[in-house]
Chain A
Amino acid sequence: MLTYTLVAGLLFGLYFSLVGLGLNLVFGVMRIVNLAHGDFLMLGAFLAFWLFKLLAFNPLVTIPVAFALFLLLGLPLYYLLVPRLLSARDPEMLSIILFFGVSQVIEAVTTIAFGTSERSIPGMALGNAVKWAASVIGVGYEPGPVAILGQSFPISWVMSGLAGALAVLGIYLYLYCTRLGYLTRAVMVSREEAISTGIDVHRVSAIAFGIGIALAAIAGIFAPFMLNIITPAMGVDATITSFAVIVIGSLGNPLGTVLGGVIYGVSLIFLQQSSYSSWANTLPYLLLIGVLLARPSGLLGRQTRRA
């Protein structure tokens, strides 16, 4: 039973890292709070749903499509909103309100387009997708639960956890092994000094913003399997969960997001399995406040913080 809780918590935790990863990147680079993060996740979920429903699109193939689409969406959105915002008196606070407005617009347009009904993709879809992917690389696989340490888990949990792990690895490689990532880290450390050394801060930030919302959309593709149903109003909860995850870890550090996700995932599954399951919904909020008060910079954060 303990093994089941720990492995399930780890899988959910890796998925939640993916949910929070993009938000962390945007806050780390631009010091603005993308309160519409959960709504981009919702859009990714709807993209996966419609591509599957209308074109019988394989959810795994949707991943690169969503990444490219949302990256391209993010660039103009950045130039439309952020430079003007950063010239205001208190950009960090105003960004909360601005992106609340963005969130409202996205939710309203989605509701007008699709209505408020709940939708889902059958769990089989992901299993079949994996079967297809396995046949491409020449490995035999039959859709069904996956056995880990003697316990069996739905394939959707395993795939979502895997996607989370790969996304974190990808961001890590981007930040530490590419020139653009190197510049991105420079902007994270000090925006002013980055400008004075001649870095095109807006270009670096716009790409980070695009990657941030593209990661949210990818997390959204797995949302029908991990969160079971998708609705236009699901964005708010997803945003709060993302905040809990990234604050528990620490801002600007992809490994911190994994730590936050895993702590969140394991305690969530643990609480759901225990006799206190009715308190499971309270968990993200209490974890968030507790960690903020005990260590405002997050568990892996450096001690130095702006006053």
Chain B
Amino acid sequence: MPRLVRHTLLILVPVVAALGVAPFVYGNHLLLFNFIVFMALAQGVNIIYGLTGYLPFGYVGFFGAGAYGFSLVVMHLHTSPFAALLAGGLAAVLLGLLLTPLFRLSGAYFSIANLAAALALLQIVSNPTLEGITKGPYGVSLSGVFNPTLAYNTALAILAATLFLVIYLRNSRFGMALQAIREDAISAAMAGIDVVRARVIAWLLAALIAGLTGAVFAWYISVFYPETVFSGEVSIFAIVFALFGGTATILGPVLGVLILYGVYNAIGISTPQYFQLIYGLLIMGLVLFLPNGLVSLLRRWGIDVP
């Protein structure tokens, strides 16, 4: 059996099936929805950080761009949610194209500039002088298209597509090329890989995933403020979940979300500052003692993880 099919059957199908059945047996649908959102976002981070080595500290910018792309089209053009969903994805891809010059920066400069871009976008969207277009800081209300069941299933479809994309990248020549660039860009270029093109494609794919996820998030919750969809926590959560599980793997980000987001919901809502403390210590311990994630621990014990 080709690895592509095996990984699809072993990871994609069980995850999507479990999250598809879960609403019938578990009452807190918003929580389940958030699991889908973070799984998609963590895989998006996995593509751009795990495969190319660029750490997108402002990844939430694409999520917010998707949410606002969706909302603006629904509010001003009154289209169907699916057309608006595409607009959300397109908004994120356009933002990604706009930010491609950031690839000239290396290391920390890239991350900081990316973070600044996301924060600048938040400030622009929430500026009171743009109230006529974006509703400024007062938030968006999309009650006209509110349909949580359909939005939930759409999010699940987006997650399935994202997982398939990651499985494909893991097992394809293009994914190998990306990892070669991450290890040594000059050697990769010498081996005939178009470094710039490959990086931009990975970047835009990651942007598209976050944009679609942001759009479906806007659809699902329908009422939100700029700070909700541009919250720095979204980037951080996605990065830490991906890193905790193990980047450049398929299963790592899935495990990371299941464990850490589960812990967050167990203790984070009632006592946020204690959660913040545990979370901070966990992140420090992770970087110092397990920089390649849980998956590397499993591998050390001889269990092969895709």
Bound together, the chains give a CA A101 to CA B107 distance in angstroms of 19
- Per DSSP, chain B at the interface is helix
Is A108 part of the binding interface, using a Cβ–Cβ cutoff of 8 Å? yes
Bound together, the chains give a CA A307 to CA B105 distance in angstroms of 9
Given contacts A89-B291, A240-B119, A289-B116, contact A296 B108 (CB under 8 A): no
Bound together, the chains give a CA A247 to CA B116 distance in angstroms of 12
Contact A104 B283 (CB under 8 A): yes
- Distance to closest chain B CB from A31 (angstroms): 8
Partner of A112, one of B115, B128, B277, B283: B277
B-facing residues in A272-307 (Cβ within 8 Å): 278-279, 281-282, 284-286, 288-289, 292-293, 296, 305-307
Is B168 part of the binding interface, using a Cβ–Cβ cutoff of 8 Å? no
Give every chain B residue within 8 A of A107 (Cβ-Cβ): 276, 280
- Distance to closest chain A CB from B24 (angstroms): 36
Minimal Cβ-Cβ distance residue in A for B111:
A96
Residue of A93, A98, A284 ringed by the most chain B CB atoms within 10 A: A93
Q: A-facing mask of B250-288, CB < 8 A → 1, else 0?
A: 000000000000000000000001101101111110111
Contact A243 B55 (CB under 8 A): no
Give every chain B residue within 8 A of A278 (Cβ-Cβ): 127-129
Contact A84 B109 (CB under 8 A): no
Partner of B113, one of A81, A89, A288: A288
Contact B123 A282 (CB under 8 A): yes
Partner of A307, one of B106, B129, B280: B106
Bound together, the chains give a CA A81 to CA B289 distance in angstroms of 11
Contact B276 A104 (CB under 8 A): yes
Give every chain B residue within 8 A of A27 (Cβ-Cβ): 108
Question: Interface size for chain A: under 10, 10 to 19, 20 to 34, or 35 or more residues?
Answer: 35 or more
A-facing residues in B74-129 (Cβ within 8 Å): 101-102, 104-109, 111-113, 115-117, 119-120, 123-124, 127-129
Residue of B273, B274, B282 ringed by the most chain A CB atoms within 10 A: B273
Residues of B within 8 Å of A, CB-based: how many? 44
Contact B102 A104 (CB under 8 A): no
Is A97 part of the binding interface, using a Cβ–Cβ cutoff of 8 Å? yes
Give every chain A residue within 8 A of B291 (Cβ-Cβ): 88-89, 94
Bound together, the chains give a CA A281 to CA B116 distance in angstroms of 12
Q: B-facing mask of A23-53, CB < 8 A → 1, else 0?
A: 0000100000100000000000000000000
B-facing residues in A101-135 (Cβ within 8 Å): 101-109, 111-112
Q: B-facing mask of A232-243, CB < 8 A → 1, else 0?
A: 000010001001
Bound together, the chains give a CA A89 to CA B53 distance in angstroms of 11
Contact B111 A93 (CB under 8 A): yes
Contact B120 A282 (CB under 8 A): yes
Is B236 part of the binding interface, using a Cβ–Cβ cutoff of 8 Å? yes
Given contacts A96-B55, A98-B288, contact A236 B283 (CB under 8 A): no
B-facing residues in A217-243 (Cβ within 8 Å): 236, 240, 243
Residue of B119, B240, B281 ringed by the most chain A CB atoms within 10 A: B119
